[in-house]
């Protein structure tokens, strides 16, 4: 019998609801009618059963488990978040357009055989080329002439000179843009001059990446007042019917002039402090590395730009590109280069598969220079596996990344890497080493826009160049030597002595890496 002093005892339904429903509801339901509690109970159980069969589909097990744990323990937050950003693929419309482009490219280049130079390479390297061809559709070509631009100002000076020389068209794509009088401003001036003299200037920029920059509205007004054809890529338009995950971004950096000259690499179209007052106060600059090119690689970069233009604007500019596939096929000498596009428009993680393949094929040394290293299990095993089999593996990262969560997530991997024999060097703060390249042995390298993190593998549209050329590797080694001269080595003993609070933050932030 109920004790009047304690009040009426709760019904069996209310007792069950307290044990099951509280995570989803987030509020007390004791006062709800019993019939309503049963409805919520059915929904609660139904949601849990549904997510068990939905979330693991086509996801890494670690990613699926992270989402499931979040939804089971903090569903009121995690479930809406999953519905908002739980899929890492572009819309079906964009994926269909990318597939059409890949099929057309494969058909147009299906007659191209491996060059004699490539046939002299090892069987494993030829396998890497075939992997890239099947995933990203681009063949490999020799006849490319490449040059590194290691100083921040060099890339902007090159862009101004190249755009001022344009006769037919200029194609520009950047993740981040910001106007200023000394760096990006002169590039915008050159684009405006080119457009005014009748050159077709097409400009793409990532909406989310650029809209966060101070002065964005002023830049938009400048572009609208010019003859530059410009579009925001993957625009955030919550009121539009066409919706995709908010953090799917176009992270590529490409400049092509008349189909003859091109630039790609790590830099954005912005001054070296990235318009951040805190960076100006601390003296922090972003350290970049870019490559400028002529030869068949320009065709590949131009096609990547054209595919982004097509998916964003529905305008097919393929026939207006300065492309001569026969000339590309006949090119000889110079560097062997293959363009490798990647991103959520592709069914596979093209850049991750390339990096892993190269790591497993390395014989003597591997150098990884990246601002963000948050690997998935496959990349982590590839890096540590190379070190365990006697390959000299060197990792060069920033002492302090510009994003706190990524900084701590990255640090959570250092102990395991050091234990495996990976040598870690940290570029001194306050600067951010933003260069992105990997060297394999003495004749192979990759360079481009891709970081070594799961965002670049799954969420960002990236472009990477695979280069087979000992002379280019030697050029990059010279830049690397400059970085290493000022960097500080990190030892296992030193790292194990870090404060407990830092270790705790590292491990907590590592959990967020799984929510992709």
Q: Do both 372 and 286 map to the same domain?
A: no
Beta strands in 355-431 (DSSP E): 365-369, 373-374, 392-398, 423-427
* pLDDT, position 287: 97
Cβ–Cβ < 8 Å for 312, 275: no
pLDDT digits (tens, 9 = 90+) for 470-495: 999 999 999 999 999 999 999 999 99
Q: Do both 462 and 396 map to the same domain?
A: yes
* DSSP state at residue 266: S
In a domain, 108, yes or no: yes
Q: Do both 354 and 266 map to the same domain?
A: no
Quickly state the pLDDT bin for 35 (edges 50, 70, 90).
confident
Q: Do both 302 and 374 map to the same domain?
A: no
pLDDT digits (tens, 9 = 90+) for 441-468: 999 999 999 999 988 998 899 999 999 9
Q: Do both 329 and 223 map to the same domain?
A: yes
Comparing C-alpha atoms, which of 405, 291, 336 is closest to residue 140? 336
Q: Do both 172 and 294 map to the same domain?
A: yes
Out of 40-54, 218-232, 301-315, least confident range = 40-54
CATH code (residue 227) = 3.30.870.10
- CA–CA gap between residue 72 and residue 286 (Å, rounded): 40
- CA–CA gap between residue 20 and residue 186 (Å, rounded): 62
In a domain, 5, yes or no: no
Flag whether pLDDT at 178 surpasses 50: yes
In a domain, 300, yes or no: yes
Flag whether pLDDT at 75 surpasses 70: yes
Cβ–Cβ < 8 Å for 25, 76: yes
Flag whether pLDDT at 507 surpasses 70: yes
Task: For residue 466, give the H/E element and its range.
Answer: strand 460-468
In a domain, 128, yes or no: no
Quickly state the pLDDT bin for 393 (edges 50, 70, 90).
very high
In a domain, 496, yes or no: yes
In a domain, 126, yes or no: no
* pLDDT, position 293: 98
Other beta carbons within 10 angstroms of residue 36's beta carbon come to: 10
Q: Do both 382 and 399 map to the same domain?
A: yes
- CA–CA gap between residue 468 and residue 336 (Å, rounded): 5
246 vs 209, more confident: 209
Alpha carbon 406 to its chain centroid, in Å, reads: 13
49 vs 190, more confident: 190
What is the phi/psi pair of residue 73, to 5°?
-100, -35
Cβ–Cβ < 8 Å for 417, 384: yes
Domain with 316 in it: 92-119+143-333
- CA–CA gap between residue 469 and residue 475 (Å, rounded): 10
Percentage of the chain lying above the pLDDT 90 cut: 62
CA distances, 162 to each of 144, 177, 179, 342, 407 (Å): 17, 18, 19, 27, 36
Quickly state the pLDDT bin for 109 (edges 50, 70, 90).
low
Q: Please give the average per-residue pLDDT across 288-306, as a whole number.
A: 96
In a domain, 133, yes or no: no
Q: Do both 236 and 374 map to the same domain?
A: no
* DSSP state at residue 438: E
The residue among 41, 65, 85 that closes a domain is 85
Comparing C-alpha atoms, which of 163, 164, 183, 181 is closest to residue 172? 163
Q: Please give the average per-residue pLDDT across 358-362, as a whole number.
A: 97
The residue among 308, 333, 358 that closes a domain is 333
pLDDT digits (tens, 9 = 90+) for 435-445: 999 999 999 99
Output the average pLDDT for the chain: 87
Cβ–Cβ < 8 Å for 427, 487: yes
Q: Do both 498 and 365 map to the same domain?
A: yes
Total domains, the chain: 3
10 vs 298, more confident: 298
Flag whether pLDDT at 24 surpasses 50: no
The residue among 85, 111, 133 that closes a domain is 85
In a domain, 441, yes or no: yes
Q: Do both 296 and 176 map to the same domain?
A: yes
Q: Do both 26 and 166 map to the same domain?
A: no
90 vs 154, more confident: 154
Buried b (16+ CB within 10 A) or exposed e, 210-243: bbebeebeebeebbeebebbbbbbbeeeeeeeee
End-to-end CA distance of the chain: 53
Cβ–Cβ < 8 Å for 407, 369: no
Out of 8-12, 160-164, 370-374, least confident range = 8-12
29 vs 248, more confident: 248
* pLDDT, position 72: 76
Residue labelled with tokens 């590839």: 382
pLDDT digits (tens, 9 = 90+) for 300-345: 999 999 999 998 898 989 888 888 878 888 888 899 999 999 998 8
Q: Do both 103 and 70 map to the same domain?
A: no
pTM of the model: 0.86
pLDDT digits (tens, 9 = 90+) for 113-151: 555 556 567 788 889 998 998 888 888 999 999 999 999
- CA–CA gap between residue 141 and residue 340 (Å, rounded): 13
pLDDT digits (tens, 9 = 90+) for 362-384: 999 999 999 999 999 999 999 99
* pLDDT, position 358: 98
* pLDDT, position 106: 66
Beta strands in 178-304 (DSSP E): 200-206, 229-233, 249-250, 254-257, 261-265, 286-287, 290-294
């Amino acid at each position: 019998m109920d004790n009047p002093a304690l009040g009426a005892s709760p019904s069996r339904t209310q007792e069950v609801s307290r044990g099951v429903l509280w995570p989803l509801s987030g509020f007390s339901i004791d006062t709800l009618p019993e019939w309503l509690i049963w409805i919520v109970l059915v929904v609660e159980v139904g949601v849990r059963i549904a997510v068990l069969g939905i979330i693991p589909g086509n996801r890494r097990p670690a990613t699926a488990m992270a989402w499931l744990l979040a939804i089971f323990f903090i569903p009121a937050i995690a479930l809406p978040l999953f519905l908002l950003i739980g899929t890492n693929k572009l819309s079906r419309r964009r994926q269909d357009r990318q597939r059409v482009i890949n099929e057309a490219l494969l058909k147009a280049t299906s007659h191209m055989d491996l060059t004699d130079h490539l046939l002299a390479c090892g069987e494993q390297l030829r396998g890497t080329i075939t992997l890239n061809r099947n995933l990203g559709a681009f063949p490999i070509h020799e006849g490319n002439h490449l040059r590194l631009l290691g100083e921040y100002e060099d890339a902007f000076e090159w862009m101004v000179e190249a755009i001022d020389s344009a006769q037919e068209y200029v194609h520009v794509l950047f993740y981040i843009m910001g106007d200023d009088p000394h760096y990006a401003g002169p590039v915008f001036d050159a684009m405006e001059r080119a457009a005014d003299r009748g050159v077709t200037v097409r400009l793409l920029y990532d909406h989310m990446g650029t809209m966060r920059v101070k002065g964005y509205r002023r830049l938009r007004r400048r572009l609208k007042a010019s003859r530059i054809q410009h579009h925001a890529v993957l625009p955030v338009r919550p009121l539009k019917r066409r919706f995709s995950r908010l953090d799917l971004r176009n992270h590529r950096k490409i400049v092509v002039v008349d189909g003859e000259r091109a630039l790609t690499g790590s830099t954005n179209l912005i001054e070296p402090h990235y318009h951040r007052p805190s960076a100006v106060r601390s003296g922090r600059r972003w350290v970049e590395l870019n490559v400028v090119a002529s030869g068949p690689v320009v065709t590949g970069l131009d096609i990547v730009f054209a595919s982004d233009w097509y998916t964003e604007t529905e305008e097919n500019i393929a026939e207006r590109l300065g492309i001569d596939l026969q000339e590309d096929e006949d090119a000889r000498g110079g560097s062997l280069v293959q363009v490798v596009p990647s991103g959520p428009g592709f069914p596979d993680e093209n850049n991750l598969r390339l990096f892993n393949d190269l790591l497993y094929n390395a014989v003597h040394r591997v150098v990884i220079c990246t601002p963000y290293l948050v690997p998935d299990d496959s990349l982590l095993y590839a890096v540590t596996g190379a070190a365990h089999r006697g390959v000299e593996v060197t990792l060069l990262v920033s002492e302090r990344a510009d994003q706190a969560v990524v900084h701590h997530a990255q640090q959570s991997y250092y102990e395991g890497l050091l234990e495996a024999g990976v040598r870690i060097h940290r570029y001194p703060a306050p600067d951010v080493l933003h260069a992105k390249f990997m060297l394999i042995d003495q004749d192979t390298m990759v360079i481009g826009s891709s970081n070594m993190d799961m965002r670049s593998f799954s969420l960002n549209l990236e472009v990477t160049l695979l280069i087979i050329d000992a002379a280019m590797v030697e050029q990059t080694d010279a830049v690397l030597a400059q970085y290493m001269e000022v960097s500080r080595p990190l030892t296992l003993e030193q790292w194990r002595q870090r404060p407990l609070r830092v270790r705790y933050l590292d491990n907590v932030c590592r959990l967020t890496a799984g929510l992709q």
